[in-house]
């Protein structure tokens, strides 16, 4: 009897010990699980507002082709195939060994003595390869340049493409270029400060009556009208003006210039964005298709001296670091009572 009681006691004690050991094992394993989760969280790379991941030696981002790309920082032999990218690159710490021919006539610091590899739509692949670049930057909106990507990759040349149309594109490109070149400090100067200036200008226009604007694009070949889905159209919209091209009255068909509709809507301002180096031929085209019409002189904008040719360096070519200057220039035209006091 005593022996049976002793055996029962031993069994109870053994069960109790097993239970305590099991609990102890669970208690020990729990922190390990927590630690793993914490480590996983710490390993997730943080992306900024543009989806860019900046690491010590590399940059990861989605380029204009929709592809996620990782490239090494601080390239030493860069070739740029789109003229609007040139001064953004050099102003944000970049150096060049090759570049597209720039026909704007603008002086771009950092491009002196740099070899050209062709014009925007006629790039020499052989010339690029001969320069042994460690990075090529091109326009995702230029078909002939996009067609170069497979061949560049076959030659083990890193390549990135960007779409550049609006000011937010400019901010993103500045962020990328400054990060790629290890000069993130320049983003503050070349993007953040400019954005602040632009917002201050926009704010001053909000309590004024919005003027009606017609935006004309003139070249030696034709005239057309432009809406808000353009670089300068965005500026007009941001400044709270009304671009009559955007109206619900089907002002344009295929962006063709329509004198009849222009007369009907009678804008307060006619702004001309002219393109090309043959300025005399551009003026001949405007005279032939617009100014020669007897009704032209009856337009309010013409009668009030508000038929204005915009400077090419701010409104035909990308303004880049002069974006705030472009906004202020146009704001002074549209709201003289506010900005010309």
String of DSSP letters for 257-295:
--HHHHHHH--SEEEEEE-SS-HHHHHHHHIIIIITSTT
Residue 210 CB coordination number (10 Å): 14
Residue where the block lists tokens 């069960």: 15
Residue 275's nearest CA partner among 221, 215, 230 is: 221
For range 212-240, the mean pLDDT: 90
Q: In whole angstroms, what is the distance from residue 105 CA to residue 99 CA? A: 15
**Which region among 63-67, 156-160, 290-294 has the lowest average model confidence (pLDDT)?**
290-294
* 308-322 confidence digits (pLDDT tens): 999 999 998 999 999
What value does the mean pLDDT of the chain take?
Answer: 84
pLDDT at residue number 173: 97
* Phi-psi category of residue 227: left, alpha or beta, with phi > 0 → left and psi -120 to 50 → alpha: beta
C-alpha 52: how far from its chain's center?
14
Burial of 288 (0-12, 13-18, 19+ CB in 10 A): exposed
pLDDT at residue number 338: 93
Question: For residue 58, what are the contacts with CB-CB under 8 A and spacing of at least 6?
Answer: 70, 71, 72, 73
pLDDT at 299 over 80: yes
pLDDT at residue number 248: 58
Contact 180, 189 (CB under 8 A): no
* 67-114 confidence digits (pLDDT tens): 999 999 999 999 999 999 999 999 999 999 999 998 777 878 889 999
Contact 47, 62 (CB under 8 A): no
* 269-279 confidence digits (pLDDT tens): 999 998 766 67
Bigger pLDDT: 153 or 249? 153
pLDDT at 37 over 60: no
pLDDT at 45 over 80: no
SS3 132: coil
Residue 78's nearest CA partner among 172, 158, 146 is: 158
pLDDT at residue number 229: 86
CA dihedral 236, 239, 241, 244 (to 10 degrees): 20
> Which fold does the domain 53-183 belong to in CATH?
Rossmann fold (3.40.50)
* 50-78 confidence digits (pLDDT tens): 899 999 999 999 999 999 999 999 999 99
pLDDT at residue number 3: 43
How many percent of the chain have pLDDT more than 70? 82
pLDDT at residue number 42: 34
Decide whether 53-183 matches 193-339 in CATH topology.
Answer: yes
**Which region among 56-60, 185-189, 253-257 has the lowest average model confidence (pLDDT)?**
253-257
Sorted by where each begins, the domain ranges of the chain are: 53-183, 193-339
Q: In whole angstroms, what is the distance from residue 138 CA to residue 256 CA? A: 30
Question: For residue 311, what are the contacts with CB-CB under 8 A and spacing of at least 6?
Answer: 329
pLDDT at 43 over 60: no
pLDDT at 184 over 70: yes
Q: In whole angstroms, what is the distance from residue 158 CA to residue 137 CA? A: 9
Contact 302, 268 (CB under 8 A): no
pLDDT at 32 over 80: no
Contact 124, 145 (CB under 8 A): no
Bigger pLDDT: 264 or 258? 264
Residue 68 pairs in a beta bridge with 62
CA dihedral 48, 54, 55, 58 (to 10 degrees): 150
**Whole-structure pTM value:** 0.82
Residue 215's nearest CA partner among 199, 226, 202, 231 is: 226
CATH of domain 193-339: 3.40.50.1980
Residue 274 pairs in a beta bridge with 218
Q: In whole angstroms, what is the distance from residue 87 CA to residue 111 CA? A: 8
Residue where the block lists tokens 């670049």: 133
Tell me, what DSSP letter sits at residue 230?
S
Residue 101's nearest CA partner among 114, 112, 84, 116 is: 116
For range 227-234, the mean pLDDT: 90
């Amino acid at each position: 009897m005593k022996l049976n009681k002793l055996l029962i006691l031993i069994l109870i004690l053994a069960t109790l010990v097993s239970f305590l050991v099991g609990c102890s094992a669970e208690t020990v394993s729990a922190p390990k699980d927590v630690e793993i989760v914490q480590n996983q969280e710490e390993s997730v790379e943080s992306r900024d507002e543009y989806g860019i991941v900046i690491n010590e030696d590399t940059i990861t981002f989605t380029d204009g082709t929709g592809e996620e790309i990782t490239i090494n920082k601080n390239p030493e032999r860069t070739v740029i195939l789109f003229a609007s990218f040139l001064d953004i690159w050099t102003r944000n710490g970049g150096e060049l060994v090759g570049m597209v021919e720039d026909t704007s006539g603008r002086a771009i610091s950092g491009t002196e003595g740099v070899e050209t590899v062709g014009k925007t739509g006629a790039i020499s692949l052989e010339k690029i390869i001969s320069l042994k670049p460690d990075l090529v930057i091109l326009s995702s909106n230029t078909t002939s340049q996009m067609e170069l990507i497979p061949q560049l990759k076959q030659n083990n040349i890193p390549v990135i493409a960007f779409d550049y149309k609006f000011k937010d594109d400019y901010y993103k490109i500045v962020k990328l270029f400054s990060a790629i070149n290890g000069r993130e400090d320049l983003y503050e100067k070349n993007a953040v400060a400019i954005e602040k200036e632009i917002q201050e200008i926009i704010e001053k226009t909000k309590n004024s009556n919005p003027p009606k604007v017609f935006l004309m694009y003139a070249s030696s070949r034709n005239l057309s009208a432009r809406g808000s889905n353009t670089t300068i159209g965005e500026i007009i919209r941001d400044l709270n003006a009304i671009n009559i091209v955007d109206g619900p009255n089907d002002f344009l068909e295929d962006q063709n210039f329509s004198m009849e509709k222009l007369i009907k809507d009678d804008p307060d301002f006619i702004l001309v964005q002219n393109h090309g180096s043959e300025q005399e031929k551009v003026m001949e085209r405007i005279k032939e298709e617009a100014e020669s019409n007897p009704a032209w002189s009856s337009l309010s904008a013409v009668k009030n001296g508000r038929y204005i040719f915009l400077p090419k360096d701010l409104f035909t070519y990308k303004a880049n670091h002069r974006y705030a200057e472009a906004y202020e220039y146009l704001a002074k035209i549209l709201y003289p009572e506010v900005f010309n006091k």
